Amino acid sequence: MEKNICLLPGDGIGPEILAQGVRLLEACASKFGHRFTFTNALLGGAAIDATGNPLPDETIRACQKADAVFLAAVGGPKWDNLPPEQRPERGLLGIRKALGLFANLRPAMLLPELAGACLLRADIASRGLDLIVVRELTGDIYFGEPRGRDIRDGLRVGYNTMIYNEVEVRRIATVAFETARKRRKKVCSVEKSNVLETSRLWKEVVVETHKQYSDVELTHLYVDNAAMQLVRDPSQFDVILTGNIFGDILSDEASVITGSLGMLPSASLGDSGPGLFEPIHGSAPDISGQDKANPLATILSAALMLRLGFDMGEEAAAIEQAVRKTLADGFRTADIMESGKTLVGCKEMGSRVLERL
Ligand code: NAD
């Protein structure tokens, strides 16, 4: 298969970690007889420095033409004092919007090799943690109108609107059910339908959509309970389906309990057109340019691109297994270092995974 991948290295450790992801993709292409071509484009601080704009039109065009977008991270202290609309993070929100990416998929997995890093009690961690949060990304209280600040009866008030329409709910529910079909076939829909009308509509539409997915088990949890269950027994979850604000919070909770920020990939998908694949962490300016960054979240994002973007499950699994083998063989970057293991830098970690692929 031939695929064009648009690369957005961004800032800080971005270029270092993305380079390792690209090495793995190239090796995977030659192992499985594919041809991947790469286009580079500017985003974030790097784009501000070169053009004055965190998301140049040329970058949008390059992403739209690609089969997938592979992003590292943006931002850093150099650009922190710019006005909000000129900051690197604006580029990130802008590219998601330009590509119509309404679904954010965040796997959280506890690899047995890194069980020591998990923030949960050993007996809970030993039951395993392998879930994916499917979060709606373009609606909900973050975008609902009206929103604003006012003076009412002499008091300052702030207000936002939590709103979903049935089309928005159906399309994200469909993503969750399709994702579950490729996994353990369980979806847990998370909302607050005991209190919120928006959530009652959410639940109704999820139940309707489920009729086409009778092979997938559907359960429901209120968000407060879901937050508890995630730390009490995360092994019960396969796919968690939820809206924008609940997903924002739960996906961070789900990833932090694994204890390894430098290990976690993510995907953002739209109806059609290229998906965007990126590690969940930021540009880590404190370790940038020192060959210390952990490239594994980026390498695992490449695997996610193969599986979800190109339907190349076998190729994705090959990269994931190479990562696990590298960890099992004792190689660690500083952020996941334990005694008795071998400390390696960003490039060497990439090389070790490559050898095992
Ligand atoms: P961060 O994720 O960049 O770093 C938090 C801590 O984790 C730091 O100590 C960093 O060294 C460490 N870390 C992160 N990724 C690592 C990796 N791959 N290997 C080893 N250690 C790693 O978050 P922050 O410090 O809050 O933000 C730094 C910059 O990144 C800010 O400008 C922020 O706006 C931006 N940011 C960007 C994204 C993105 O591009 N998607 C996400 C979050 C933050």
Please tell me if the CB atom of residue 294 comes closer than 6 angstroms to any atom of ligand 1.
yes
Of all protein residues, whose CA lies closest to atom 6 belonging to ligand 1? 284
Of all protein residues, whose CA lies closest to atom 23 belonging to ligand 1? 282
Closest ligand 1 atom to the C-alpha of 279?
41
28-31 own/partner pairs: CB under 8 Å, 24+ apart: 28/302, 28/306, 28/315, 28/318, 28/319, 28/357, 31/315, 31/318, 31/357
What does the longest C-alpha to C-alpha distance in the chain come to? 69
Query: CA 324, 327, 331, 332 torsion: positive or negative?
Result: positive
Closest ligand 1 atom to the C-alpha of 294?
19
Question: What is the structure's pLDDT at 113?
Answer: 84
Question: What is the structure's pLDDT at 115?
Answer: 82
Instruction: Choose the residue to mutate in 71, 283, 343 for probing ligand 1, maximizing ligand atoms within 8 Å of C-beta.
Output: 283
Question: What is the structure's pLDDT at 112?
Answer: 82
Residue 176 to residue 75: CA distance in whole angstroms: 30
Q: Which fold has domain 119-257?
A: Isopropylmalate Dehydrogenase (3.40.718)
Tell me if 274 sits within 8 A of 288, measured CB to CB.
no
Q: Which parts of the chain register pLDDT below 70? A: none
Which residue in 15, 8, 114, 108 sits closest to 54, CA to CA? Answer: 8
Residue 8 to residue 268: CA distance in whole angstroms: 15
Helix (H, G, I), strand (E, B) or coil at 312: coil
Query: CA 326, 269, 3, 314 torsion: positive or negative?
Result: positive
Residue 268 to residue 98: CA distance in whole angstroms: 12
Please tell me if the CB atom of residue 107 comes closer than 6 angstroms to any atom of ligand 1.
no
Please tell me if the CB atom of residue 349 comes closer than 6 angstroms to any atom of ligand 1.
no
Which CATH superfamily is 1-111+261-357 part of?
Isopropylmalate Dehydrogenase (3.40.718.10)
Closest ligand 1 atom to the C-alpha of 287?
11
Question: What is the structure's pLDDT at 338?
Answer: 86
Please tell me if the CB atom of residue 21 comes closer than 6 angstroms to any atom of ligand 1.
no
User: Is the preceding peptide bond at 146 cis, omega within 30 degrees of 0?
Assistant: yes
Question: What is the structure's pLDDT at 201?
Answer: 98
Residue 240 to residue 251: CA distance in whole angstroms: 9
Residue 283 to residue 189: CA distance in whole angstroms: 32
287 — alpha (psi -120 to 50), left (phi > 0) or beta?
A: alpha
**164 contact partners, CB below 8 Å, separation of at least 6:** 136, 139, 140, 198, 201, 202, 243
Question: What is the structure's pLDDT at 46?
Answer: 97
Of all protein residues, whose CA lies closest to atom 38 belonging to ligand 1? 282
Q: Cite the residue boundaries of each domain of the chain with CATH code 3.40.718.10.
A: 1-111+261-357, 119-257
φ, ψ dihedrals at 137, nearest 5°: -120, -10
Of all protein residues, whose CA lies closest to atom 4 belonging to ligand 1? 284
Give me ligand 1 centre to Cα 331, in Å: 22
Query: CA dihedral in degrees (194, 195, 199, 205; nearest 10)?
Result: 50
Question: What is the structure's pLDDT at 85?
Answer: 79
Chain centre distance of CA 292? 22
Of all protein residues, whose CA lies closest to atom 25 belonging to ligand 1? 284
Give me ligand 1 centre to Cα 74, in Å: 9
Give me ligand 1 centre to Cα 283, in Å: 4
Which two three-digit tokens encode residue 260? 């390894």
Give me ligand 1 centre to Cα 147, in Å: 30
Catalytic residues: 142, 192, 224, 248, 252
State the angle between helix axes of 346-356 and 296-304 in degrees (0 to 180), rounded to the nearest 10: 40
φ, ψ dihedrals at 28, nearest 5°: -65, -40
Helix (H, G, I), strand (E, B) or coil at 17: helix
State the angle between helix axes of 14-32 and 296-304 in degrees (0 to 180), rounded to the nearest 10: 40
Instruction: Choose the residue to mutate in 281, 290, 336, 344 for probing ligand 1, maximizing ligand atoms within 8 Å of C-beta.
Output: 281
Question: What is the structure's pLDDT at 79?
Answer: 96
Residue type, 132: I
Give me ligand 1 centre to Cα 332, in Å: 18
Please tell me if the CB atom of residue 206 comes closer than 6 angstroms to any atom of ligand 1.
no
Residue type, 353: V
Of all protein residues, whose CA lies closest to atom 27 belonging to ligand 1? 282
Residue 51 to residue 292: CA distance in whole angstroms: 29
Please tell me if the CB atom of residue 283 comes closer than 6 angstroms to any atom of ligand 1.
yes
